[in-house]
Structure 1
């Protein structure tokens, strides 16, 4: 059966951030669904709760699972939510999992500092969009630059969503994940702080670090990320596929 792919975006952005991956997967012949979480993208008018976010992910996964094995990929906040989701006590129908730019525990002083900075940024006259655009213009390639904000920015949801993440029990969830798992981080990603702990706790995990790349690894290096999607898909498609993925760290090529 053909591997189905579900993609979950990070905070403030939307399903449009995955356009490069959707194009790649569609051309490859893998059905793909990029989810808009509540309060984001096409669901901007809705309130964000953890329950509604998990429901959005679960609806997409269970629908895809009726047609084949599911590869779930989440970025940043979406990745954190997906760790909790895949590592539930009653596992969902996920055959493989990519957790991108999300190897940090969202609580304590780190989360408080992030929320403080986000609130200060949001308090700027243009909600920080001038600076945001300057950074994105200088770091994202032309092929993905329009995609990142095409679905709008969830300014009003950001602080609530960040606060909600503090109740996630990611360490317990990681211990329960029993499918092939790839952690993908940019070399300069600020959320790499707990990557070694996450790698140690997950049974079948591999860590891939993409050189010269920031937190926005999917958009900054789309060809590399798509190549890593290919690795995951090939693993799930192999006739003798096993859940025993090697515990290893890799540095992605610059191709």
Structure 2
């Protein structure tokens, strides 16, 4: 009998592996191994410099730790990294869930994000209170607890935005042969090119979660977890 397919989770900007606690628990409850990693500069790797290659390598090590081949699930920054990892390491990926990353990081957009980060970095607390306010306003209490449990990497924004210029998500999706699930909240500002992304996929499907925003796995954890479990069933059916 074939071993159960593991799942590797990749978090978003400034968060950590703890944002996936609800999904990790659900995946383990149905008998699959679940590994949530920390990208460089985040979580327990706060002292490491974030680079694009380093982030992809972190996913590769996470998949190795899980058994060598997995369903990889990434959100926002983690989605961009997971797409790049799947294109670079196809032998490690049985399927891909790329959430909240359906807009290409074009130079004009990244430049605007960099300006916002520079302004926030000038605040006396590096934006800690503003970040906590946004968390409290945007997330239900359970999601806020999960995302905050690993701490926030408030100093990593510039490195990430510099590195993410290397991302080519549409080109990479066209190279990925395994099934891809694109998952976006209905009100996610990062879903602007979801149909371009879907058209690039060789074997893709689009899931739009009603009433959810950018942090879809935290805002709608039950619905998002259902997508992950359905992906597992499809890959092992």
TM range (shorter): over 0.9
Q: Deviations over 1:118-147 (max 9, x none)?
A: 221232222223232223223322222111
Match for residue 143 of structure 1? 142
Whether the aligned pair in 2 keeps the contact of 1:85 and 1:92 (CA below 8 Å) is no
Matched, 1:25 2:24: no
**What RMSD over aligned residues (CA atoms) do the two structures have, in Å?**
1.4
3-state DSSP class of the match of 2:156?
helix
Conserved? CA contact 1:39–1:46, under 8 Å: yes
Instruction: State TM-score, norm by structure 1.
Output: 0.88
Moved more, 115-124 or 20-29: 115-124
1:47 to 46, 49, 65: 49
Task: Tell me which moved more, 16-25 or 140-149.
Answer: 140-149
* Contact 2:140-2:219 at 8 Å conserved across structures: yes
Distance 2:126 2:91 in 1: 38
- With over 3 angstroms needed to count, the CA separation of the structure-2 counterparts of 1:122 and 1:211, relative to structure 1, is farther
Tell me the SS of whatever aligns to 2:90. Answer: coil
Give the one of 60, 63, 76 matched to 2:62. 60
Q: Which residue of 2 aligns with 1:123?
A: 122
Q: Which runs of 4+ in 1 moved over 6 A?
A: none
Measure the CA separation in 1 of the matches of 2:31 and 2:178: 23
Q: Secondary structure at the match of 2:72?
A: strand
Q: Is the 8 A contact 1:20 1:222 kept in 2?
A: yes
TM superposition shift of 1:197:
0.6
Which ranges of structure 1 fall in alignment gaps of 5 or more residues? 239-255
Flag structure 2 segments of 5+ consecutive residues without an equivalent.
none
Structure richer in helix, relative to its length: 2
> Partner residue of 1:16?
18
- What's the CA shift string for 1:13-36, capped at 9, x where partnerless? 110110111111121111110000
- Cα separation, 2, equivalents of 1:45 and 1:134: 25
SS class of match (1:46): coil
Task: Determine the C-alpha separation between the residues in 1 that align with 2:181 and 2:170.
Answer: 16
| DSSP 3-state at the match of 1:225 | helix
Alignment of 1:1-255 (within 5 A): 1-66=3-68, 69-88=69-88, 91-238=90-237
Q: TM-score by structure 2 length?
A: 0.94
